[in-house]
Every structure is written in structure tokens, then in C-alpha cells.
Amino acid sequence: MTSNNTTVTDCGTSHFRYPLFTSTYTVVLLFALPLNCVSLWILVCRNGLKKSVPVIYMANLALSDLLFTLSLPFRIIYFATGKWTLGNTLCMIPGTLFAVNIYSSSFFIMLISVDRMLAVVYPLRSRSLRTAPVAWMFCALVWLLIAGLAVPIAQNHPEINDTACNITRCFEKYSTDSWNNGFKLICLATFFGMLVPFSIILGCTVAVVRQLRGYSMATSSFNAELSKSKIVKLFLSNLLIYTICFIPFHVIYILFTLVKLEMLHNGSHLEVYFNLHNITLCLASTNSCLDPLIYYFSAKNIQSRSRCGSASKTVGLGLVQSTSWTGQ
């Protein structure tokens, strides 16, 4: 599903995708590794996973990002040298973890958005749904679904013997059968793993914005406006990740595959789609760098909640402040 191909025989690393991927993955590794390690440490060690529903979802999101980040050195080695020497198993793992990260991130961001929407719009009626056992149940379900998706993806990402160049490839030069299988997988994953969560997040964003507008007439204090701003920024950061990382990659991948498999009669632009696919693949990889935005806005509200204590459990926006980040 993350494979690349080219329309000409190229045995070297002169094509722009090699330095592009090498530099992009290196930058992502340098930023995402410390960001997600620190985020996961703060979420688990300082906030704990026993009671806070948002922390549970964010910790699982950070774990997904960390797994993908740890696989980046293998990609960097390949695109820096243009050949694969580490064996078939280590070739399948990075490609699989890319898909695992994309779709697990999508689901966890959706769960975070739904939890925040319930806390803001239905703070009392949703208490039974916003509990740690329920959160862990949803997380387990996500990982089970992702594990089921990972098996066919791994099988579709083996190392390739490039006979024309007499070298072993990884992450590219896949056969027509692999492209056919990958197309079926990406269509299924796009609908259930990207379009459905994005629609739910968009609906949650609209519901929260409408609810907060209703609070604007009753509350005008600086703290209330600041709290509303943080909540809105959390939802906007969720949508931003989809706009930059997920949507362009899926749109271009599907168009490129349709042209490559001659299902879309636009073969003269195959090279254009191929180049766009390389660029959007890099954008998708930045997902693990952008997710800490969610941790940042959430952590700011968790700190705000700790300072306010039980005294903030009042009506209106005060109720939103007291329930938004604790999962109670």
C-alpha cells in the first residue's frame, strides 16, 4: 500500500524520490522520536492510565506513532543506498507499520474527538460511556482491527528481486499482482479507516463549535474564553492532520493506481501521479510529528483542570472545563 514504482528503468538513486525520502524520514525521525517518547512518558508516568479517558486514547496514539518512528531507520538505509540487504522480514515490517500508524492514528484521533464532543455537548448523560474500562475496550478493538489489516499488508510488501538492475528492492518495484491486491486493500482501508473517522470528527467539530457558541452569551470571562479556544484548537488540529497527512495520500494513491492498472485512461500522466504519490507519502509520514499537537492542547487543559480542582464543577462552560479532560 505504500509502494512506489517508476515508468523507466533506473538502477541508481538519481530520481528525486531517493533524496526526498531519505531527508524526509531523517527529519521525521529526529523530531518524532523525542516528541513521542516524551509525550508517552508524560501521559503514562505523570497522568496515569487508570481514570483519564483522554490520556488512554492519547497514550495509544503515541504508541502507534512511536512504533512507526522506530521503523524509519530501515527506510532511511534503503533510500540512501538504493538497495536492500536486510532480508524479507525486515522489509515487510516498515511497510506494515506505516499502514498500522495511518489507520490506528485515524481511529484514535476519532475516539479522542468523540470523547471530547461527549464531554462538551453531553457532559452528564455521557458519563457512563467516558470511563476507563470503556476506553480500553475501544482501544483493544482498534488494535484488533489493525492487526487484521496488517497481515495482508505484510504479505503484500515483500522484498523484490530487480533482475534488470541485479539488486534487491524494498518499498518499490512491486508486481502487477501486488498492485492489484494493494488497490483492493487501500479502497477498503480508505473507506473504513479514513472517510468514516473523518466524517465523525467533522461532525464532532461542528457539534462542539455550536455548543460553545451557546456558552458565549452566558460566560465572558478571560478563563472561559481561553478554555473555549483550547477546545476548538484541539478539534482543528485533528482536522489539520487529516488535511495534510491522510486525505492527499489516499486520493493520489488511488488515482495513481487506477492509471497504473489502466483502469483510468490517463496513462500520459502516469509519471505526474507517481511524483505526486512520492510527495504525499512524505506528507503522510509527518503524521507522527503532528500528533503531539493533540497532546499539547490536551495537556494544557489537563493542567488547567488540575489547578481548578472540584471548584470548577459548575454549570455552563465551567462544567465543560471540569469534564473535558478527565473522562469522568
> Is the pLDDT higher at 276 or at 307?
276
Q: Please report the pLDDT score of residue 314 as a whole number.
A: 33
* Residue 324 reports pLDDT greater than 80: no
The candidate with the shortest Cα–Cα distance to 95, out of 158, 18, 51, is 158
Question: Which pLDDT band, with edges at 50, 70 and 90, does 226 fall under?
Answer: low
Selection from 30-34, 225-229, 291-295 with the highest mean pLDDT: 30-34
Give the fold, CATH level 3, of 18-323: Rhopdopsin 7-helix transmembrane proteins (1.20.1070)
- Beta bridge pairs of residue 167: 162
Selected residue with higher pLDDT from 264 and 78:
78
Helix, strand, coil proportions of the chain in percent (round to 5)?
A: 75, 0, 20
Q: Which residues are CB-neighbours of 110 under 8 A, at least 6 positions away?
A: 197, 200, 201
Q: What is the DSSP string of 25-57?
A: HHHHHHHHHHHHHHHHHIIIIII-SSS-HHHHH
pTM equals 0.86
For the segment 247-267, what is each residue's pLDDT rounded down to a tens digit? Answer: 999 999 999 999 888 887 776
Average pLDDT over residues 198-205: 95
- When pLDDT is averaged across residues 305-314 and rounded to a whole number, the result is 38
Residue 292 pLDDT level (bands cut at 50, 70, 90): confident
Gyration radius of the chain over CA positions: 22
User: For the residues 279-306, what does the mean pLDDT come to?
Assistant: 77
* Mean pLDDT in residue range 109-119: 94
pLDDT-derived band at 315 (thresholds 50, 70, 90) equals very low
Q: Name which of 287, 327, 27, 6 is nearest 162 in CA terms.
A: 6
Residue-level pLDDT at 300: 52
pLDDT band at 216 (very low <50, low <70, confident <90, very high): low
List the grid coordinates of 7: 515508468
Residue spans of the domains in the chain: they are 18-323
Does residue 218 have a pLDDT over 70? no
Segment 9-36 shows an average pLDDT of 90
Q: Residue 8: pLDDT band by 50, 70, 90 thresholds? A: very low
Query: Does residue 161 contact residue 168 with C-beta atoms inside 8 Å?
Result: yes
How much is the mean pLDDT over the chain?
Answer: 83
